[in-house]
Amino acid sequence: MQAGSSTSFSATGLSIGTTYYFYIFSYNSECTGGPLYYTTSPLTNNETTLSCTVSAFPYSEDFDVLTPNNGTVNCVSTVDLSPVCWTNESGDDTDWVARSSSTASSSTGPSSDHTSGCNYLFIESSSCYSKTAIMTSPTFDVSSMSVPTLSFYYHMYGSTMGTLTVDAYYNGTWNNGIWTLSGDQGNAWYEAEVSIPGAAGFSDLKLRFSGLTGSDYYSDMAIDDVSIIDISCPDPSDLTATSITSNTADLSWTENGTATSWDIELGAGGFSPTGTPTQSSVTNPYTYSSLSSNTSYDYYVRADCGGSDYSNWIGPYNFSTLESCPDPSGLSASSITSSTADLNWTENGTATTWEIEYGLDGFAQGTGITIPGISSNPFTIS
């Protein structure tokens, strides 16, 4: 697609014996008109079908050539997205609709598109509760890509916001839920970036956006600016920390490409990252040691794909180490006789030796009788 103000355009690289169609879309600066289009006469009598397969990348679609519906949108709509080679599926409950102004309901939906330019696509939820709208993309030939990556912007504002889900089709199979999000995300546009490494090498990638409205009209969700790009070193995701002790933690994450080496930057909770690793060329998972007890930490991670090719730094993920010697709890006494009692407690760390101080009822700690070096729990005092 070519955009601009010129009234002429030279098409190059055409094939002999092929019929080409071109469309001219006219819209004003507010994107409230058009599109107006016409089709040329065939260059030959050997007509062919206009292809919606995308093989030139990066691909980007802002939906601005669609005619926006800035009026009343019904729950059951039939909206044609074919000018941009997208399809509102039949058999669902409602449709994705192009719009350039704010949605009709207050306290939900965007006021404009992501770039304050023209259109976005949205689902109207007024009198359309718990309904699904499904649309599919054109086919993408990503056979030459390293890591096909989907990027798009979403707006999910409203107290009864539903769920947005993205599925990917490649190698003859739908892969459901490669990205999903539910609930009110606030009145803002956010970017989602989803690596689809399994689609690399295939020519049949399709995307499916499914929006499920919520239980009330505060659930107008929207998307805009969908892109397909090739990222040679995609970002890790799903950072976590497990097996945490007083001075160690196992840090792990999901690798979304083919990296086998990663860098970590770790610091006290809330620190400002510098971009300089505190640990380089680590494995996944990685046991971070020599930590301080009872301390909050943040960490960031990036993939090292070799040849000075790195992903973005992703994080922070926050965790806290344990106390090195936490207090016992749950003190009790049992099997009490005239001269003995079994003293019991709960050990909240790894201690195997304890010290007991006892005395008459109401004694001040530090003035009682101390028994050091106790190695059993319970302990019989006599």
10-residue mean pLDDT profile of the chain (382 residues): values are: 61 49 50 40 42 92 94 86 96 95 94 89 96 97 94 98 98 97 98 92 97 96 97 93 96 93 98 98 98 97 96 97 92 94 92 93 93 94 91
Domain 59-230: which topology?
Jelly Rolls (2.60.120)
Torsions phi, psi for 319 (to 5 deg): -150, 165
Q: Give me the residue spans of the domains in the chain.
A: 59-230, 237-320, 329-381
Domain 237-320: which topology?
Immunoglobulin-like (2.60.40)
| The 379-381 sheet, strands edge to edge | 329-334, 341-346, 379-381
Q: What is the pLDDT of residue 75?
A: 87
Is the full-model pTM beyond 0.95?
no
Q: What is the pLDDT of residue 360?
A: 93
Q: What is the pLDDT of residue 44?
A: 40
Q: What is the pLDDT of residue 37?
A: 35
Q: What is the pLDDT of residue 82?
A: 94
Torsions phi, psi for 84 (to 5 deg): -115, 15
Identify the CA nearest to 77 among candidates 20, 19, 121.
121
Instruction: Compute the Cα dihedral for 336, 340, 345, 350 and give only its sign.
Output: negative
- Pairing mode, strands 329-334 and 286-288: unpaired
